[in-house]
Amino acid sequence: MRSFLLTTGVIFSAVAVAWFLRLVLAVPVQVGGVSVPVWASLIPLAITGSMAMWAFRLARDVGAR
């Protein structure tokens, strides 16, 4: 279980870093011809960052048993 949580935490961290880079580098994104504003990256950044921290915290708690 601990290895699954660590793997999940690493994957969510990588996705959060990608969203952060999109925010910092102001990479333009279009979905169906509609331009997505850069500030919209804050929402998935917060979600994936929170899920990564949650996974690492659960892995630490599982390992403490």
pLDDT at 25: 95
Max CA-CA distance within the chain?
51
pTM for this entry:
0.86
* CA triple 64-17-45, angle to 5 deg: 90
Per-residue pLDDT, averaged over 35-51, amounts to 96
pLDDT at 64: 72
- Here the tokens at position 14 are 């990588």
pLDDT at 62: 87
